[in-house]
Amino acid sequence: AAMITLLWLLLLQVICSAAAAAADDPRLLQVQIIIRHADRAPMYEFTSLESAALFPRGLGELTNDGIRRATQQGSAFRQHYNELGLLSGKTTEAEIFIRSSPIKRVLMSATAFATSFIGKGIGRVHVPPIHTTESEDDERVLIVHDSVDHRCKVLARHNISDQPLCRAALLRTAIIKEYPDCASFNYTQIEASVAQAENPNVTLDAALEKCARGDARKIQFRSLSIRPGVAREFDASRAGDVIGPLMSIVSRNVDDAVKGDTIEGMRTGAPIRVYYTHDHNILAVAQALGIISEFGERNPEFSSAIAVETWSSSEGFDIKIVMKDGLKNPFKPVAKFRFLDFKNRISSYTDLDPTKIQWDDQAKNVYTFQQFGKNTGKPSTTVGPVIPRIRPATETELLEPRKSHTYEILLVASMLFVVVGVLLKRRNTYTRMY
């Protein structure tokens, strides 16, 4: 009897606490993670034959360190959003949607990230589907395609004439000359030095290493800004064309989260949505959100991520922007908008014909864990459902007689969950959007 009385008192205390929490505590409804692929080999050339031997998959391909770091980044994000209450004890496929550029290094990064983000079963790796498109040419959201017309406009602004090719390399050469420590190298050497510097076994020429550790990433930032039309090369029309489709998807997902929290019975998509992409796209997203200065005019790190969080409270809806520039850097809140302010902020990028946007449901191809195994050169691991570990009863527990008020405890516990659920349920209050 004393136990039942104690449980009833506990129930009353929890009800009071839950009522206060329901009124004041903000809740994270959704996060959208836009993330660059992990460490790769140089894109154009190696600085030496010895360096080339350290990257057996070849130019532009994901490295073993990249796979490891993408996995570590997945663990970091899982821990972060578990602490914020967005994840359940065991993340299911219904809770996470992952879309990737169809380039192999990006697909592999997404898979490595997902294996640790969603968790592992006993003897198996459980990976949610990695949604993608047929080919690089088919992808219209997560790749920034080159444009000769845009390059010509950029070169014209810099008084460089190169019709009809309008080669961006001419502008890159001019940019490099502004940085004395790198001025004796061409862009492909500089790009290679940055990629190779991530490998501790690589030995670079002393002058090239000084460039790589110094101004190389500033040169990369300015070079990468050309194609999407951002930062110093900002072109509103080009930036809108480049990042408009992804920002439209992000905007729709935010709308779904808000509707799901205000309309009884409204079905919403996965609360965790991951978009694996490239450095051009990361810079373009940062431009659209007004946070590009956070990169300090340096190229985004491998696995650099921007998270768009949708929060709900009694005061309304907030959109928070969080950066994590690579594995080594911490989560950093960089911006916060009210719901309508966020919509206004990105409106110039989302004013597109919706019929011309490649929405998530049009990414119909799926990259599997078996394909990942082939791409890494290792046997694939069986993919199956997560198997929970069941603790066997001890001998003492098996022999000890049952002395519990099972029915009463279950009744009180059921009532507790029902009451707390009702208190925490938000009502249809559209004024909270403002």
pLDDT of 135 above 90: yes
Q: What is the pLDDT of residues 7-59, one digit of tens each?
A: 665 665 655 555 555 556 899 999 999 999 999 999 999 999 999 999 999 99
pLDDT for the residue 264: 85
Give the range among 117-126, 189-198, 352-361 with minimum mean pLDDT: 117-126
| pLDDT confidence tier of residue 412, bands split at 50, 70 and 90 | very low
pLDDT for the residue 392: 36
Helices 279-289 and 216-224 sit at what angle, rounded to 10 degrees? 70
3-state secondary structure the chain: CHHHHHHHHHHHHHHHHHHHHHHHCCEEEEEEEEEECCCECCCCCCCCHHHHCCCCCCCCCECHHHHHHHHHHHHHHHHHHHHCCCCCCCCCHHHEEEEECCCHHHHHHHHHHHHHHHCEECCEECCCCEEECCCCCCCCCCCCCCCHHHHHHHHHHCCCCCCCCCCHHHHHHHHHCCCHHHCCCCHHHHHHHHHHHCCCCCCCCHHHHHHHHCCHHHHHHHHHCCCCCCHHHCCHHHHHHHHHHHHHHHHHHHHHHHHHHHCCCCCCCCCEEEEEECHHHHHHHHHHHCCHHHHCCCCCCCCCEEEEEEEEECCEEEEEEEEECCCCCCCEEEEEEEHHHHHHHHHHHHCCCHHHCCCHHHCCEEECHHHHHHHHCCCCCCCCCCCCCCCCCCHHHHHCCCCCCHHHHHHHHHHHHHHHHHHHCCCCCHHHHC
Could you tell me the fold of the domain covering 1-143+236-394+401-434?
Answer: Rossmann fold (3.40.50)
pLDDT for the residue 402: 41
- Asked if 286 and 295 touch (Cβ cutoff 8 Å), the reply is yes
**Residue written as tokens 């709308």?**
255
By residue count, the chain amounts to 434
Mean per-residue pLDDT of the chain: 86
| pLDDT confidence tier of residue 381, bands split at 50, 70 and 90 | very low
| pLDDT confidence tier of residue 92, bands split at 50, 70 and 90 | confident
Nearest to 306 by CA among 328, 280, 333: 333
pLDDT for the residue 2: 63
Nearest to 226 by CA among 320, 147, 325: 147
Q: Quick one: average pLDDT of 359-387?
A: 76
- Asked if 299 and 217 touch (Cβ cutoff 8 Å), the reply is yes
pLDDT for the residue 404: 46
pTM: 0.84
| pLDDT confidence tier of residue 88, bands split at 50, 70 and 90 | confident
| Sequence-separated (6 or more) residues with CB below 8 Å from residue 377 | none
Who has greater pLDDT, 197 or 381?
A: 197
